[in-house]
Structure 1
């Protein structure tokens, strides 16, 4: 999740555990600890793919954060013995461990079990979702105004947790809704990713990767009971084979669970993470190699510039989310006239 959300979650948890003893300083400690795992972004691992796939790595591992919680609890207890060692451990462990656990509900991927496990990505909540964050901020504001009464913090944590549970339930409902359509298209057994569209859990995007094509569906809870619209995007198995013959291509495929789009653009072999963003606005595209007279020439990966996203996209998403538009064409990021589909 975004840094504001992680800081708010950390502050809320720390305040709930120690706010009555430490006062407002508990919020500051929790906010600082809540952002600590994301400081790995300052590390340069040498290439674009390495930086991309090693973020949320060791600094988000439960195997690292649990013993770190113990060490920090001892240090904090020596500094402020007014709070028992057990309470300090509860504070540090809750704040540090909930950070990667919350991240695991997003699509990016969180290496909870680094160095022995693959990334975990439940993909039920967008990386920025106001309905998760606002209850936490409201609880913090109420605490700051009213003084060391933790009931508001607990209420904020309760509402946010319930909303996170709703996101997982909604994801399952959407997956079941599109099941018959995918079965009719012969894609029921293909790798499937079901995730919310930006900033909400009402409108959802379903991505299904077949051998020669990728299917994309946008559907939401305010839609009617009519058939869902399926868009298709081509895939080139030969480019995939070329990319995954390279160490960085293999690393990228491992991190994204294979949800990648490959292209030959000029002399460049590129791979785009199709999980993040939406078609036409995917933020992560990597150059893995270049073609020359001798064939494919690997090079240290680099990242292409993030595509510009016009402000009108928010209006398009709002119209589709609220159901005022029946179809959103991902290939063009446009809303076709009523009764028409995507071309």
Structure 2
């Protein structure tokens, strides 16, 4: 999820737990810092773009490691402020601010390895876009009202913001289930394969959903709208060029992207090299994570992420409106 959402979520959780034991700004500051802390792994350079992508949200997002780190952080925070609040009282607030970060990331489609060291599986629900104002705004309003009103009334506003944002996450999973069922029905009517289908929301909303259908050497993209749920899917098909993968068997970078994307990838030849794209993020041939692999004869030792063109904000909202 975006950094603002994680920061505000951490602050809201910490304020809700600490209440009036400490000044409001202290609880919010500690929560915001802990809510941001796991994402500092983006500053670690693992040597190439594919490693940087697939090793983000790993140990720093693992529930076990964050749980083990929380008592130490609580002890440090209690010693820093020295206001008669014992570290045990900070512990719950810090632990919740830390673990809600990967749990919120889990709701996006990227992939979060929160089960480390027991499993490195990149878990992803994919029910919410990485930036969704309807999730973040209740948290911001509730936290702002807590500072503005103060006292018990302000704390109630903060709790209300947390409750509304959590209910919105529940809504996103429920409507994802509805969208998945309707899409499966439409695919069955069109006699299309439905054994490998991805359903995720489009930018900034949970009303229009994008689906990716893998069918051998091709993949299809289509959109489903809550406002016209029974409209037949209009599927746009594209080549995956899976034959290009055979010479790359054993290539760590190619196989890593194929694993991390759960099989939702496509290859093509571009500018004299083979490229691989994660189909889960992006659309219409323009994907956020596309990498140059070199050639089978001369594979890239340090693959680079190729530039992608993002549509302007106005174009994005226009597309959402048309698909509604």
Q: TM-score range by the shorter chain?
A: over 0.9
Question: When the two structures are superposed, what TM-score results if normalisation uses the length of structure 1?
Answer: 0.88
> Which residue in 2 is equivalent to 1:260?
265
- Deviations along 1:166-196, one digit per CA (max 9) or x if unpaired, are 100111100000112223434122x211100
Gaps of 5+ in 1: 324-343
* Aligned 1:227-306 pairs, distance under 5 A: 227-290=232-295, 295=297, 297-306=299-308
Runs of 4+ residues deviating >4 angstroms: none
- C-alpha distance in 2 between matches for 1:111 and 1:177: 30
SS in 2 for 1:297: coil
Match of 1:18 in 2: 18
Take 1:164 and 1:309, find their aligned partners in 2: how far apart are those partners? 26
Q: Quick check: 2:115–2:121 contact (8 Å CA) kept in 1? A: yes
Q: Say whether the 8 Å CA contact 1:290–1:299 is kept in structure 2.
A: no
Write the mapping of 1:169-180 to structure 2, written as runs, cut at 5 A: 169-180=174-185
Aligned residues: 318
Which protein has the bigger helix share? 2
8 Å contact from structure 1 (residues 18, 83) kept in 2: no
The C-alpha deviation readout for 1:262-296, integer Å capped at 9, x for no partner, is 011132110011111222432211011225xxx45
Q: Which residue of 2 aligns with 1:341?
A: none
Aligned counterparts, 1:310-325, within 5 A = 310-321=312-323, 323=324
Q: CA deviation at 1:315?
A: 3.8
Gaps of 5+ in 2: none
Task: For residue 239 of structure 1, give the secondary structure of its aligned residue in structure 2.
Answer: helix
Q: Could you list the per-position Cα deviations for residues 197-254 of structure 1 after superposition, in whole angstroms to 9, with x for gaps in the alignment?
A: 0000000001111212112110111115332212211122211333443111111111
CA RMSD of aligned residues (A): 1.7
Partner deviation per Cα, 1:304-330 (whole Å, 9 max, x = no partner): 112242344224323225x3xxxxxxx
Match of 1:87 in 2: 89
What CA deviation, in whole Å up to 9, does each residue of 1:97-137 have, x standing for no partner? 00000001001111101242311111000000000000000
Cα distance in 2 between the residues matched to 1:165 and 1:308: 29
TM-superposed CA distance for 1:299, in Å, is 2.8
Deviates more, 1:146-155 or 1:39-48: 146-155
